[in-house]
């Protein structure tokens, strides 16, 4: 037998009368495919109806007590005999070529999984609910699938039109029947994790007869909220794709509203349902659809809070926010050095004391990556202190203060200049300053300073070829690992300059890479584009508040914008000032 079609059904006798005949009339030899209908405890006569249908001998009816869709699919999987198994739902309308498309799909080694589009048929019991389904399904298969076909099946949250070798499905244990929602995503992610890849069959077209109502959609959203929490705990890397990963991106007032609604003793859903029905009735369909999406999110958030245990627990799993402060040299300002890059020891100590008083806990970048990938717990208010270029004064004045406060830091080293000076700054008329020696780097690595790469020679990566970027990243990491005697997992882009190539190349070498872009990092932040806030001289404690809370320095931003926008105007009005003007670095 070439292929087995597996369909689980529960109390959908009338719908089966519409969908099953099309599956029995495929343009593929009937002796080469079988249809396994698993009746999951139906009480509407589905089993009797299925047994009465005339067929060419390839329809098998399996009955079991009601144990859920996943358990029914697993039973069908166990009793199937085909080399390939094709999963369908009982509300799917097939084209005549569907079985042939899946049976003849190219399958090579671990690229052996295939899926086709599931579009939504017009009509339905609830027109607004059908429109919602069309927005979700049709848009997905029109756009996202083509952007990432190899992960499309896992991301589409629908097992209704996918096929794979039976031995593969059995080897990973089938679907997890402890999930009432999300078991298809859990199954797909296990396959993806084990190295299997998905490919899209655009001609394996199906349509779903959407019979759910708005109430059903809200009920499903509650189950999906619980499932997302469970999935995130089973596969922490999945959390970055969850709706809850956006918690920490939202403005503070939106987070406050979300918390109030998600934890309120009474639900707002019944009231919103009335407005949704009203808007739909009077012809405001777009507004009604948006309100339905709001209801769906509210239901998911409320059930997620219950599954997580509390709003705070949900925040710990999904909503951590990481400000990254970027320092350069810590110590006295040396003659000829760039004042913009130098923080006096006294001010640095004030910053550390402020962080301590406000209950921030400095972490290593590796701890943030471990939280993103594995869900390893973080302190309530993490912060990352980074030091670029490895100036010797930072080792002499800055790091002892870190140890005094019991803090950690991350040092980014330009490896070709270890023990030398900052020669890359000479063209900017900045005097040479001594850099840390290999022994100093090794000593502070042992004492809790995380070591990262700042390239071999501190070039502008935008002007480098792909091979040069790869060489700068690979060689600097290897050199630093010999110096620090530890793995080097992170990279900081020199000058903060990079184009689309550098993050892609860094991803093959490092776990994380830091930019000079402003902002706060969260679960949804690309680890190859982590944001940092540069700390400049006369950085007040008020500015520290803005930097750690919101990820930017309003005073510095205003200064820069004033320089960009007002300076040309002033020079036009007072041209005699031009001769005294010097171009800042």
Tell me, what's the pLDDT at 99? 97
Asked whether residue 579 carries a pLDDT value surpassing 80, the answer given is no
Instruction: Tell me the mean pLDDT in the region 480-509.
Output: 95
Global pTM reads 0.82
Domain limits of the chain? 3-211, 230-318, 324-552, 553-585
Asked whether residue 156 carries a pLDDT value surpassing 50, the answer given is no
Query: How far is the CA of 463 from the CAs of 4, 79, 455, 501, 510, in angstroms?
Result: 55, 60, 14, 11, 21
pLDDT tier, 125 (very low <50, low <70, confident <90, very high otherwise): confident
Tell me, what's the pLDDT at 122? 83
Alpha helices (H) in 157-213, listed in sequence order:
166-171, 183-193
CA-closest candidate to residue 208, choices 274, 143, 134, 269: 134
Most confident of 27-41, 108-122, 157-171, 547-561: 27-41
For a pLDDT cut of 90, what percent of the chain falls above it?
71
Tell me, what's the pLDDT at 583? 37
pLDDT tier, 555 (very low <50, low <70, confident <90, very high otherwise): low
Could you read off the pLDDT of 327-368 as tens digits, one per residue?
A: 999 999 998 898 889 999 999 999 999 999 999 999 999 999
512: burial class by Cβ within 10 Å (0-12, 13-18, 19+)? buried
Residue of higher predicted confidence among 585 and 549: 549
pLDDT tier, 450 (very low <50, low <70, confident <90, very high otherwise): very high
Asked whether residue 157 carries a pLDDT value surpassing 50, the answer given is no
Asked whether residue 580 carries a pLDDT value surpassing 90, the answer given is no
Instruction: Tell me the mean pLDDT in the region 59-72.
Output: 95
Half-sphere exposure of 196 (CA within 13 A, CB side): 23
Asked whether residue 154 carries a pLDDT value surpassing 60, the answer given is no
Instruction: Tell me the mean pLDDT in the region 73-91.
Output: 96
Residue with tokens 């005073």: 555
Asked whether residue 207 carries a pLDDT value surpassing 70, the answer given is yes
pLDDT tier, 102 (very low <50, low <70, confident <90, very high otherwise): very high
Asked whether residue 76 carries a pLDDT value surpassing 60, the answer given is yes
Look at 39-43, 236-240, 357-361, 491-495 and tell me which has the smallest mean pLDDT: 236-240
Asked whether residue 19 carries a pLDDT value surpassing 90, the answer given is yes
Residue of higher predicted confidence among 214 and 124: 214
Tell me, what's the pLDDT at 581? 44
Instruction: Tell me the mean pLDDT in the region 425-433.
Output: 87
Asked whether residue 80 carries a pLDDT value surpassing 80, the answer given is yes
112 phi, psi to nearest 5 deg: -120, 10
Length of the chain: 585
Could you read off the pLDDT of 393-411 as tens digits, one per residue?
A: 999 999 999 999 999 999 9
Tell me, what's the pLDDT at 584? 35
pLDDT tier, 242 (very low <50, low <70, confident <90, very high otherwise): confident
Residue with tokens 């040299």: 329
Half-sphere exposure of 508 (CA within 13 A, CB side): 11
pLDDT tier, 556 (very low <50, low <70, confident <90, very high otherwise): low
Q: How many whole angstroms separate alpha carbon 342 and alpha carbon 585?
A: 14
- Domain 3-211 fold is Spore Coat Polysaccharide Biosynthesis Protein SpsA; Chain A (3.90.550)
Look at 191-195, 269-273, 366-370, 438-442 and tell me which has the smallest mean pLDDT: 191-195
pLDDT tier, 565 (very low <50, low <70, confident <90, very high otherwise): low
Tell me, what's the pLDDT at 443? 95
Tell me, what's the pLDDT at 562? 58
Instruction: Tell me the mean pLDDT in the region 34-55.
Output: 94
Instruction: Tell me the mean pLDDT in the region 72-96.
Output: 95
Residue 186 makes CB contacts below 8 A (sequence gap 6+) with: 175, 176, 179, 227, 231, 234, 235
Asked whether residue 568 carries a pLDDT value surpassing 70, the answer given is no
Look at 167-171, 238-242, 347-351, 384-388 and tell me which has the smallest mean pLDDT: 238-242
Asked whether residue 100 carries a pLDDT value surpassing 80, the answer given is yes
pLDDT tier, 230 (very low <50, low <70, confident <90, very high otherwise): very high
CA torsion sign for 178, 180, 183, 185 is negative
Q: Which two tokens stand for residue 134?
A: 């069309």
CATH architecture of 324-552: Alpha-Beta Barrel (3.20)
Asked whether residue 58 carries a pLDDT value surpassing 60, the answer given is yes
Residue of higher predicted confidence among 64 and 159: 64
pLDDT tier, 197 (very low <50, low <70, confident <90, very high otherwise): confident
Tell me, what's the pLDDT at 248? 80
Mean pLDDT of the chain: 90
pLDDT tier, 147 (very low <50, low <70, confident <90, very high otherwise): very low
Could you read off the pLDDT of 278-309 as tens digits, one per residue?
A: 999 999 999 999 999 999 999 999 999 999 99
Instruction: Tell me the mean pLDDT in the region 2-16.
Output: 95
Half-sphere exposure of 139 (CA within 13 A, CB side): 6
């Amino acid at each position: 037998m070439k292929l087995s079609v597996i369909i689980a059904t529960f109390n959908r006798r009338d719908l089966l009368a519409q969908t099953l005949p099309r599956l029995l009339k495929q343009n593929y030899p009937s002796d080469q495919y079988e249809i396994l209908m698993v009746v999951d405890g139906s009480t509407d006569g589905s089993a009797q109806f299925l047994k009465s249908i005339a067929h060419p001998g390839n329809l098998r009816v399996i009955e079991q007590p009601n144990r859920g869709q996943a358990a029914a699919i697993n039973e069908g999987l166990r009793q199937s005999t085909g080399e390939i198994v094709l999963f369908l739902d009982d509300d799917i309308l097939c084209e005549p070529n569907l079985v042939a498309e899946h049976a003849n799909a190219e399958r090579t080694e671990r690229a052996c999984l295939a899926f086709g589009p599931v579009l939504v048929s017009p009509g339905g019991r609830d027109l607004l609910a059908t429109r919602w389904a069309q927005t979700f399904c049709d848009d997905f298969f029109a756009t996202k699938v083509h952007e990432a076909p190899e992960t499309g099946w896992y991301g589409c949250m629908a097992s209704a039109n996918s096929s794979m070798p039976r031995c593969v499905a059995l080897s990973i244990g089938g679907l997890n029947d402890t999930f009432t929602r999300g078991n298809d995503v859990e199954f797909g992610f296990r396959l993806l994790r084990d190295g299997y890849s998905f490919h899209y069959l655009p001609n394996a077209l199906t349509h779903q007869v959407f019979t759910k109502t708005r109430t059903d959609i809200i009920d499903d959203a509650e189950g999906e909220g619980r499932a997302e929490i469970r999935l995130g705990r089973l596969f922490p890397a999945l959390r970055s794709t969850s709706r809850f990963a956006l918690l920490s991106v939202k403005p503070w007032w939106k987070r406050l509203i979300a918390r109030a609604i998600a934890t309120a003793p009474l639900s707002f859903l019944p009231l919103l349902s009335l407005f949704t029905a009203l808007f739909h009735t009077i012809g405001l369909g777009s507004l009604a659809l948006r309100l339905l999406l709001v209801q769906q999110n509210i239901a998911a958030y409320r059930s997620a809070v219950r599954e997580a245990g509390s709003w705070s627990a949900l925040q710990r799993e999904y909503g951590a926010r990481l400000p990254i402060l970027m320092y350069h040299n810590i110590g006295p300002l040396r003659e000829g050095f760039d004042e913009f890059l130098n923080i006096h020891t006294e001010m640095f100590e004030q910053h550390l004391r402020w962080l301590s008083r406000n209950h921030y806990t400095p972490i290593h970048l590796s701890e943030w990556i471990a939280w993103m990938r594995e869900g390893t717990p973080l302190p309530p208010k993490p912060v990352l202190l980074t030091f670029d270029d490895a100036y010797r004064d930072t080792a002499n004045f800055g790091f002892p203060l870190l140890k005094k406060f019991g803090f950690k830091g991350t040092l980014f080293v330009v490896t070709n200049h270890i023990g030398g000076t900052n020669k890359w700054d000479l063209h900017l008329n900045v005097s040479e300053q001594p850099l840390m020696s290999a022994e100093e780097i090794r000593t502070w690595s042992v004492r809790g300073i995380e070591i990262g790469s700042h390239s071999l020679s501190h070039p502008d990566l935008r002007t480098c070829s792909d091979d040069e970027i790869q060489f700068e990243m690979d060689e600097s990491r290897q050199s630093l690992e010999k110096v620090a005697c530890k793995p080097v997992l992170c990279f900081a882009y020199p000058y903060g300059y990079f184009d689309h190539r550098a993050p892609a190349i860094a991803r093959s070498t490092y776990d994380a890479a830091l930019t000079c872009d402003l902002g706060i990092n969260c679960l949804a932040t690309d680890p190859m584009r982590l944001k940092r806030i540069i700390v400049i001289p006369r950085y007040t404690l008020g500015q520290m508040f803005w930097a750690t809370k919101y990820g930017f320095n309003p005073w510095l931003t205003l200064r820069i914008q004033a320089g960009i926008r007002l300076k040309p105007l002033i020079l036009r009005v007072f041209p005699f000032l031009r001769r005294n003007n010097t171009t800042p670095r």
